[in-house]
Amino acid sequence: MTPELLNLLQSHWEPIPSVAIGLIAMTGAYLWSKKFSFDFKSYVFLTGVLLLWLALMSPLDELGDQYLFSAHMLQHMILEFIGPLLLVVSLSEELVRRWLKVPAIRWAENALSNPVFTVTIATVVMLGWHVPPIYDITLQSEPIHIIEHITYIVSGVMLWWPVFKPIQEGRLKPMSATTYLTVAAFLASILGMVYTISDVSFYSAYAHPYDQYHLLPLLRDEWGLNPVEDQKLGGAIMWVICTLTFFWALMAVMVEWLAEKEIDDVRTAA
């Protein structure tokens, strides 16, 4: 490990006030709702928050903004797929039903139960922010970059909600959930396919980055990560993470499906 890379990895752990306050407030509200009692779901929630913290306030963020498209894609996968999934599955039925007593939240939940709406929003968010001119603008404007990250997290929660929300009303049945997840997995993989097979770099920001940390000789010469190879690696990261995440989700649905079928068989036999 070069001194330049070590310097980057040791720095850039400073909390971003707005992000840190938001994540701490969300964690506090969640634990308060559970009266600070810890169970398996509590640790799932804390894992999701930790991943969001690392994605947004670790050297990964700086590396993705300044040097590597592949690092940026890892960040985006955490923000839209992994982190939101952990947050959704960590919610308890009691907590959600308490929220649904608020009319505005109940109205929003009804919208989130529409699978066509949620998968469309998640896909548009993912594809839209990766249109080259828009992508380059997000790297130049911090306010727009913040909006991008927020929309990833929100659309990720929307994507997983119809399948894993803790209340049965409006939750997709196993067969419908399997179809939904299969379609969502394909749509989420489109960008990864394009990046992996393309021999053209789409984003000017990575062609001639400002070498603030003197890392380009390491990345370009020693690691061989020119813009095209870096983009291919980013596409592969998207493929792998999407495949593993949606595979887990499908397996979870299948386990639930088999459990329900076993219960029905027992009832029929009785």
Give the count of beta carbons closer than 10 Å to the beta carbon of residue 189.
17
Q: What rounded mean pLDDT belongs to the chain?
A: 90
User: What confidence category does residue 149 fall into, taking pLDDT thresholds of 50, 70 and 90?
Assistant: very high
pLDDT digits (tens, 9 = 90+) for 106-143: 999 988 889 999 999 999 999 999 999 999 999 999 89
1 inside domain = no
107 inside domain = yes
8 inside domain = no
154 close to 216: Cβ distance less than 8 angstroms? no
65 inside domain = yes
CA distance 18 to 203: 28
- Considering only residues 89 and 213, tell me which one the structure prediction assigns the higher pLDDT: 89
pLDDT surpasses 70 at 265: no
166 close to 96: Cβ distance less than 8 angstroms? yes
Mean pLDDT of the 155-165 span: 95
pLDDT at 233: 95
Mean pLDDT of the 218-225 span: 88
pLDDT surpasses 90 at 9: no
Residues ≥6 apart with Cβ < 8 Å to 269: none
> Residues 33-39: contacts with CB within 8 Å, 24+ apart?
33/95, 33/98, 34/92, 34/95
105 inside domain = yes
pLDDT at 4: 63
pLDDT at 49: 96
pLDDT at 116: 95
User: Which residues span the domain enclosing 198?
Assistant: 13-269
Mean pLDDT of the 138-162 span: 94
pLDDT surpasses 90 at 185: yes
Mean pLDDT of the 192-218 span: 89
pLDDT at 212: 83
Instruction: Please give the share of the chain, as a percent, with pLDDT higher than 90.
Output: 64
User: What confidence category does residue 267 fall into, taking pLDDT thresholds of 50, 70 and 90?
Assistant: low
Judged by average pLDDT, the poorest of 135-144, 174-183, 213-222 is: 213-222
pLDDT at 162: 95
pLDDT digits (tens, 9 = 90+) for 82-103: 999 999 999 998 889 988 888 9
50 inside domain = yes
Q: Which amino acid is at 176?
A: S
6 inside domain = no
The total number of structural domains in the chain stands at 1
7 inside domain = no
